[in-house]
Amino acid sequence: MPAHTLPTATILGYPRIGRRRELKRAVESYWRGASDEAELRATAKDLRAATLARLVELGLPAEGGAIPDSFSFYDQVLDATLALGAIPERFADISGSDLVTYFALARGDRDHQPLEMTKWFDTNYHYSVPEIDERTPFGANASALVERLAEAADQGIETRPVLVGPVTYLLLAKASDEAGEGFRPIDRLADVVAVYAELLRALAAAGAQWVQIDEPALVSDSLSVSREETLALVERVYAELGAIPVGERPAILLTAPYGDSSAALARLGALPVEAVQADLVRGSLPEDALASGALAEAFADTQLVAGVVDGRNIWRTDLRAAFATAERLKNAGIATVIGTSNNLQHVPHDVADETKLDARLRSWLAFADQKVAQVATLARGLSEGAAAIEPELAETERILADRAAAPGVRIDGIRSRVDAVTAEDRNRAAEGDRRDAQRGLGIPELATTTIGSFPQTAEIRKARAAHGKGEIDEETYEGFLRAEIERVIRLQEEIGLDVLVHGEAERNDMVQYFAELLDGFAVTEHGWVQSYGTRATRPSILWGDVSRPNPMTVRWSSYAQSLTERPVKGMLTGPVTILAWSFVRDDQPLSDTASQVALALRDEIDDLVDAGISIVQVDEPALRELLPLDRDRQAAYLDWSVGAFRLATAGAAPGVQIHTHLCYSEFGEIIDAVDGLDADVTSIEAARSRMDVVEPLGDHGYSRGIGPGVYDIHSPRIPSVEEQAELIRIAAARIPGEQLWVNPDCGLKTRGYDETVASLKNLVSAAQTVREAA
C-alpha cells in the first residue's frame, strides 16, 4: 500500500469560467477599466469558493487533495509561464502587478504583440504559447498557487494545486525570435526543472499535501520529439523531482490525459511519484502488463488514477463498463483511484441548467457536475463493493438503453442513403477539366476575396438576439438581414473585390447556425465551454441521425447574388468542423456521423447552385484539430475526414468552383490531405508567418488555387498597401500567379468596420500593384 494516498475519487480539473460565465464578465470589465484589480480578484475568489463548495457537495472529499485547484484567470499554460517567471524579454518594460503582466502577455497592447495562441492538443481550447530562448529568465513564483491553497484551507478544503508539467511546457513552447539558430525550448529543461523543484518546495511549505502535474505530451506524436523521447525526458525529470522527500515537496500526481499512455504506463508507475493518472477513455489498459503482474509491480508504491469518466464529451458514462475497468485494476492489486480522462474544462457546468432541453435527451447527458457525481459513485463502489452502487449502475443501464432505442437516434432512410454512397460520389471531374469549365466565371489573376464574415456590429447582434427571443417577427428580421446583405454587397463593390460574400450576419456561430437548422442536433442554453481566455463557445449536441429538413443558406446567398454582377460565394461549414465543434454522439464511429452531415451539405450545395450560385466555400478550419495525437490513428482519420469533405462537395458540376478555408498555417503534416480535399481554391492563414506556408506548398507542387492570407485579422492594425503587396510578391515567387488568390487570413466578424474597410482597400490596391508590375 502506498504511503501517501489520494482519496479514491478525484477529477483532473473543473471549468473555471463560472456557471454563468461570471469570470468572463469580471475579467472583461477589468479590461475595460470598469472595475479594478481588487474587484476582479474578489469576484474570482467568490467563484473559486463556490466551485470548491460545489465539488464537495457533489461528493469529492474535502480532505486529502482530492479536489484540484484548476482555477485560471485566462489560461493554464500562461499560469505556468508566470509561475516559472519566464517572461519574454520583449515584455520586460511592462510594469505593474503580476496580473498586469499576465494580461499583457495574453492580449498584448499598443506596443506589444501578445503571445501567440494555439490549440491545446486535439481540443478546441487555445493556450498562450510560451516564448523561450537561451536567455529566458526562470525563477519560481508560487504566490498565486500558495494564495489559493490558503484560501481553500480557510474554507476547510485541502486542494491540490495543478501545474502544467515541465516537459509538456517546453515541448509546447516556441523558440523566441531572439533565439539562436537551432535552439529548442526543451534545451532549457534542466533550468526549468530546477524551478519546478522550488515551486514544489514552496507548495509543501504552504501546506499542500498533493500537487498535480500534467504531462499530456506523453500521449502525443505531434510534438517536435518522438513519444519515446518524451517518455525518456519525463522519466529523467520525475526521477529528479521525486527524489525530493515527500514533506519537503507535496506528493505528486503525474497525469497523462488526452490519449493513450498504455505503452508507457508501467514505466510511469515505476517513477518515484505517488500517483499516476491514465486516460482510459481515449486510451486503454496495457493488457499484457496487467496479465503478467508487471503493471501491479510497477504500481506497488504508486496509486493509479483510472481516468474512466470521459472529460471530453457530455454523455452519461456507462457506469458498469467504467466500474469493471476500475475493478480489474483493483483486483490486480493496484491501488486504484477513480478519475476523469482529463480536466473537465472542456465540458459545460451542469445539465440541470438546461431546462429547455427535451427531458429525454437531458437524461442521457452528463456535464461537469454530473461527471463529478459519477466519479464519486464509482469511488463508493470501489471502496464499499459493487452492491453499494448497484442501483446507480442499473439506472444508468436503463437510461443508456432508452437512448439507444429513442426515435431519431437511428433513422432508416438516412442510414440507407449513407450505405448507398459509392466511391464515385466522392469524386469530381478532373482538375484540368474543372479549370476549363470555370473559366466562364471570369475570375482574374490574383483575384481578391474575403473569407466570409463581415464585422458583426452591435446592431447585428442585437437584432439576432431580439429575433431569438421572439421580440421581432420573422419578417422584420428578414428585412434587417436583407438590408445588411445589400450594404455589405455595395461596400464590397465599392472596395473593388472580385469575388463577394453575403457577410454571414445571420450566423451567431459557424457551427451552431447549421446545428440549429439540421435535424439530429440540439442546442444548449448555458453549455458554455472556454475556447480561450474570456472566449467561450456553446457546442451543439449531435445526438441523432442528421438530415436537412430545409435549405439553410440559399435565401441569403441567392439574395446577395441577385444584387450584383460579380460572383457571390455561397458559404457553408464543412462536415469535419461541424463535428469538431459540437459534442458528437459516442455510439457510432465519427466517420458514419460525418457522412450524414456531408450528405446534408451536399444537398445544400445542389440547392445553392440551382439558385444561381457558382462558387461555394466549405470551411474546414478544424480539419487539423481533430487529427489524432496518436500517429497510428492518423491515416484512418484523414481518410474519413477528407472523404466526408469530398462527399459534401463532389456533387457539384465541374463549372462550380469549390473553395475551402483552413484557419491555420501549420499544415505541413497534413498537406497531402489538404490536396486530397480536391477543392479548387483553398484559403489559409499566412500573414503572421509572412507566407511561411507557401514554400512547402510550392515544393509539394500544389496545383490548385491557393489564397494565403495577406491581412492578419487577429489584430486591429491596418496593413498598408506595400506590406500586403510584399506578401503577395513572396507568395508569387513560389506559386504561379494564376493559382494565387488575395484574401485576409480569416473571417472579419470580430473586427470593426473602419479598420476592415481600410485594410480591404489596401488589399485590393496591393493586388492591383502586383498585377500591374507583372
Of 286-294, 319-327, 464-472, 745-753: span binding ligand GLN (CB under 6 A) = 745-753
Q: Regarding beta strands 275-279 and 540-547, do their DSSP bridges make them parallel or antiparallel, or are they unpaired?
A: unpaired
Query: Would you state the cell numbers that stand for residue 712, as one nine-digit string?
Result: 492578419
Distances (CA, A) of 683 to 656, 696, 742: 17, 15, 9
- Is 526 designated active site? no
Which of 759, 640, 674, 739 shows the shortest CA–CA distance to 435?
739
309: left (phi over 0), alpha (psi -120 to 50) or beta: beta
The footprint of ligand GLN on residues 418-477 (CB under 6 A) is: 451-453
Q: Judged by CB, which is closer to Zn ion: 375, or 713?
A: 713
- Between helix 143-154 and helix 37-57 the angle, nearest 10°, is 50
Asked if 289 touches Zn ion (CB under 5 A), the answer is: no
Residue nearest to ligand GLN (CB): 747
Asked if 661 touches ligand GLN (CB under 6 A), the answer is: yes
Task: For 718-736, give the DSSP string.
Answer: ---HHHHHHHHHHHHTTS-
Asked if 119 touches ligand GLN (CB under 6 A), the answer is: no
Asked if 747 touches ligand GLN (CB under 6 A), the answer is: yes
Asked if 600 touches Zn ion (CB under 5 A), the answer is: no
- Cell 492570407 -> residue: 709
CB of 663 to ligand GLN, least distance (A): 5
Asked if 619 touches ligand GLN (CB under 6 A), the answer is: yes
Cα radius of gyration rounded to whole Å, the chain: 27
Of 274-282, 289-297, 647-655, 743-751: span binding ligand GLN (CB under 6 A) = 743-751
Distances (CA, A) of 310 to 255, 268, 278, 366, 614: 15, 21, 12, 10, 43
Asked if 495 touches Zn ion (CB under 5 A), the answer is: no
Quick check: 317 and 588 in contact, CB under 8 A?
no
CB of 570 to ligand GLN, least distance (A): 11
Q: Judged by CB, which is closer to Zn ion: 12, or 510?
A: 510
CB of 619 to ligand GLN, least distance (A): 5
Residue of 112, 126, 502, 714 marked active site? 714
Partner interacting with residue 749 (select from ligand GLN, Zn ion, none; CB below 5-8 Å by kind): ligand GLN
Q: Judged by CB, which is closer to ligand GLN: 434, or 749?
A: 749
Whether 700 has a binding-site annotation, put simply, is no
Distances (CA, A) of 526 to 70, 504, 523, 539: 21, 24, 9, 10
Which of 632, 709, 702, 635 shows the shortest CA–CA distance to 665?
709
Helix (H, G, I), strand (E, B) or coil at 519: strand
Asked if 751 touches ligand GLN (CB under 6 A), the answer is: no
CB of 680 to ligand GLN, least distance (A): 16
CB of 712 to Zn ion, least distance (A): 12
Asked if 576 touches Zn ion (CB under 5 A), the answer is: no
CB of 553 to ligand GLN, least distance (A): 11
- Cell 475519487 -> residue: 9
Asked if 663 touches Zn ion (CB under 5 A), the answer is: yes
Q: Judged by CB, which is closer to Zn ion: 259, or 575?
A: 575
Partner interacting with residue 334 (select from Zn ion, ligand GLN, none; CB below 5-8 Å by kind): none
Asked if 510 touches ligand GLN (CB under 6 A), the answer is: yes
**Residue ranges in 511-551 assigned as alpha helix (H):** 512-517
CB of 667 to ligand GLN, least distance (A): 14
First to last CA, the chain: 76
Distances (CA, A) of 486 to 450, 461, 481, 504, 505: 16, 17, 9, 12, 11
Partner interacting with residue 630 (select from ligand GLN, Zn ion, none; CB below 5-8 Å by kind): none
CB of 454 to ligand GLN, least distance (A): 8
Whether 663 has a binding-site annotation, put simply, is yes
Whether 124 has a binding-site annotation, put simply, is yes
Q: Judged by CB, which is closer to ligand GLN: 548, or 749?
A: 749
Sign of CA dihedral 173, 177, 182, 183: negative
Q: Judged by CB, which is closer to ligand GLN: 43, or 660?
A: 660
CB of 661 to Zn ion, least distance (A): 5
Distances (CA, A) of 592 to 465, 588, 748: 34, 7, 33
Query: Would you state the cell numbers that stand for residue 297, as one nine-digit string?
Result: 509491480
Quick check: 649 and 676 in contact, CB under 8 A?
no
Whether 619 has a binding-site annotation, put simply, is yes
The footprint of ligand GLN on residues 544-603 (CB under 6 A) is: 571
Asked if 749 touches ligand GLN (CB under 6 A), the answer is: yes
Distances (CA, A) of 609 to 406, 502, 595: 36, 15, 21
Whether 460 has a binding-site annotation, put simply, is no
Per-residue x/- track, 717-746, Zn ion (CB under 5 A): -----------------------------x
Partner interacting with residue 4 (select from ligand GLN, Zn ion, none; CB below 5-8 Å by kind): none
59: left (phi over 0), alpha (psi -120 to 50) or beta: left
CA atoms within 13 A on the CB side of 685: 17
Asked if 15 touches ligand GLN (CB under 6 A), the answer is: no
Distances (CA, A) of 757 to 563, 607, 724: 20, 31, 15
Q: Judged by CB, which is closer to ligand GLN: 618, or 728?
A: 618
Binding residues: 24, 124, 451-453, 504, 581, 619, 661, 663, 685, 746
Binding residues for 5-methyltetrahydropteroyltri-L-glutamate: 24, 124, 581
Q: Which residues are catalytic?
A: 714
Binding residues for ligand GLN, rule: CB under 6 A, are: 451-453, 504, 510, 571, 619, 621, 661, 663, 746-747, 749
Binding residues for Zn ion, rule: CB under 5 A, are: 621, 663, 746
